[in-house]
Structure 1
Amino acid sequence: MWTLAIVDDDRQVLGGMSRLIPWEQLGIRPIGEAMDGEEGLRLIRAAKPDIVITDIYMPVMNGLEMIEQLRKQQFDGKIIILSGYSDFDYARKALRLQVDDYLPKPASPATIREVLQRVIAELSEKRAAENREQELQDRLMQYEPYLEREWVKSVLTGGTFSPPTGPYRMLDRLGWKGAQFMMLALEIKRQGRTEGISARDWHLFRFAVGNTVEELARQDGLRSYFLELHSHHMTLLLHKPLSWPAEAFRSEVLALAGRIIESVDRYLQVKLRIGAGLRKDDWTAIADSTEEAFQALAERREPDANHPCVYVYTDAGFRHPAARNVRPVRFFQEMADAVRTFDEPRALLALEDFASSDSGVAQLSPGELAALGTQLFAILSFTLYDSGHKLDDELPPADLSKELGLIENAQQWKAWVAEKVKRICRRFTPNENLKHKETVEFIIQYIHEHYAENIHLQDVADQVYISKNYLSTLFRQFTGETFGDYLTRVRMEKAKSMVLEKKLLIAEIAERVGYRNVPYFTTLFKKHTGRSPTEFYRA
């Protein structure tokens, strides 16, 4: 309900206006009257009405002086001038003070209703816009941890994800401004305790490894960011202020890597290998350190003197000069993400980009291509194992080595990878499609049964034990709509039926289809049908 104050030095006008305004019909509540500008100023400051109707000519302080004071104090309510005079100078000053409308003295009931309806419509639109803005801010706050993680993953792997708030806010949140960085790449070896375990236990092992890694970094006083990448690979970004001695920072990182390997082995009976990239002086070079760390891990040519399972990157670690230009980390991540959902076109597009003529892949030796293929297939194997699928029967290790040994150039390697990706996606997709279709059908049924409640995608994801992001992708693939758009459409269709029944007030209908904010509901209804609920009712 809107609130209204009247300021006029004529008691008859005050009484007449109070009688002529259709308060209940317009959804307005009176909150006070004043008989001069100074008294009106005190009333408006205290009550903060949505609408003010004021005379111009009044004692002590006139209406325009009062309005000027209100605008200086950032009063943003609607102001309607009430006057029996026609004065160009006053009209011009009123426009400058952003007066919203004008009522002549005396004003007819029809004119009063028309002017008030107009300013109320503007207030409703303004409030709806504010509500939309607030909802957007709330969503951004809700999704900020996810957005931060996606941005960090992009920075670490050389991706292109940009946060809506821009990178500098993220840099402040993470403490990356004026810092130096060094990347560790961690690989869980599939042997001993981790061999032959279930997918569920494999997830638990990775979770336990992550907790141990982060705790050790905290104990050492190093600021860190731990991130799981594809399957059995993880990253640990470490940073300290640039004022910290570079060699001391490097020594601390390598010592921490050694303790991580020892502690994970001792407490979890899990074997790790770790690659260390070079130290960087700027956050934009973090992806280079990631590539170096994984290159050191893949080559395993320069173990740390004190820790034989920690491999340190050097330029000498490349067997062929062209390999310096090949940056596989981002490619491996994109392939793992695509194969996880059996998205063949996405996987082939990532392959096309990675093996393009200017990527350096064409210059690799047959041995380097074989090593790259072995890494990729291991990652895809681990990725599918997470989903309960095994690739050993698709291509046993002995056959894998044999096939890769026959590859002589980049074109053959690209064709080999494409053929494997197609076989994997087409082999598992039919059953997965059936399961995914049933999941989406459950979501649709859930929406139709719970549309009146304050439901979110996370609520449904919890019901089907799937991550919110993956579920969002599935839902859009099968329905062509986002979860939010589909929910809104269901609610609007239900609302249309209720409006046409002509049994309920608009506010009641809004509440019954899940909206507590009536102006926001009205905005959505008009966007969906092209008419407001009232117009739809009368049509």
Structure 2
Amino acid sequence: MLKLIIADDERVIRESISSLIDWNSLGIELVGTCRDGIEAYHMILDESPDIVMTDIRMPGLSGLELIERIYQADMDTQFILLSGFGEFEYAKQAMKYRVHHYLLKPCNEEQIVESMQDVIKEYYHRQAFQDLKERQKALTANLHHSIMGNIINEQIFKSDPAEYSWNAYSGFMDFYHTWYELCFLHYLEETYLNSILSLIYDYMAEHAPGIELYCIYVKNSLILFFERYQVSYEEFDVFMQSLTPKELLFQLDYKRITFQSLNQLLEVLITKIRRYGIIYYMNGLEPVPTCNYKNLITKIEQLTASLIETDGTELKPRLEELTAALNDISNTDFLKQACSRILIKLATETSYLSSVDTTEYLMDLNQQTEYGQIRYMLCKKLNEILKKSSTRSQRYSPFIDKIIHYVEDHLGDPNLTLKCIAENHLFMNVDYVSKRFSKETKQKFSNYITALRIQKAKQLLAEGHTEQIQWVAQQVGCGNNPQYFSQIFKKSTGMTPSAYAKKLNGGE
């Protein structure tokens, strides 16, 4: 339930309003009434109400002054102003604090309920919008961290700085125009890593919410880098310099460097860390090691590249070579990294994997702890890609190509059928078209269009449309039937659309 506070210096008015309305029926809990602005201010700080109904003129602290203070405190509180007729122009000043709800005294029950319903509707609309932004941010953060880990793993084995290239990832992150900060904390023993890193995460969450923090640990040195978010970092530097554990008899060595772009930062960072045998890329508080198996990495890179460049009958032996190379990896964490490198390379350099598919798959992969299961999952995915690649490399009959393009252009049509396409657009016999479609694409038309609709739905859900399941159903051709959409989605993915979106966004 939403929490409400009523503030008015006239006892009759505040008691009348509090007792006049059945607040429970509106989904509201009345947590208190206040006789002046100061009392209201303190109660707001204590109770954190969602809605405050306040008189505009009160002793000690006026309604406008109360709103200004709460606005400056950055509390997400909705206000309804009570004002006399002569105070209405004065009340308009509150608009700069996003207050748009007023009640002129005297007001009746119907007016209060109507105004309250407007505020409730606006509150939930804002909440839904905020949830959407948070889900999109979580998805982007997951993808950015996977890409950054992959870049570091990829680049540390290149000896020539001229070989640095971020073009494959430039569609996901800005490497050239955004300033970054790079920080070093030397002489930090692994025993204290988690406690120090927890303090840093807490500081960033409080002072720089929304800024992604990337962390690397190499041989008693913690390295942090993040997008520049303010001009002065004096307070941040003081905080970092204060992190030395009490048990240590010496001061941790702290240093911060500013870079005008991410690519400049990465070139310096990779040059510094590539000499270490094991490099830990931090996934929260979990260190993910990169072992310096240079020859093996080079071989996997070459085989992945050849897999991308090859088609037809050569695909299968290339895949077998790549699988054999993966068998040489005995470390579970390193195998995960190799899998991540392969899949992100396929996602960035081919059309066989979308960013949504890649993020979803990497999240599943990172949850695995058994070597055999990780290897099985990757081989299964590579075989799926191989099959898709082989299918796409085939030359379809011209009319089959027309069917595929027509379906892609009209996927949102709930009445889309092969019969309709064959008779009205190809002017061919539907039985013949159906047999040829199955023969050339190796699948029935119904399976093909369902798979296409599920893929489109995944993309829309990943973009944040999780509160609009009915709309998503319409966009992918399931009409005004979200139940049918949920059924085919669950049959294909093993979970409902809502559950899939939660999983994709880290289970939040």
TM range (shorter): 0.3 to 0.5
Higher relative contact order, chain-length normalized (CA < 8 Å, sep 6+): 2
Which of structures 1 and 2 has the bigger CA Rg? 1
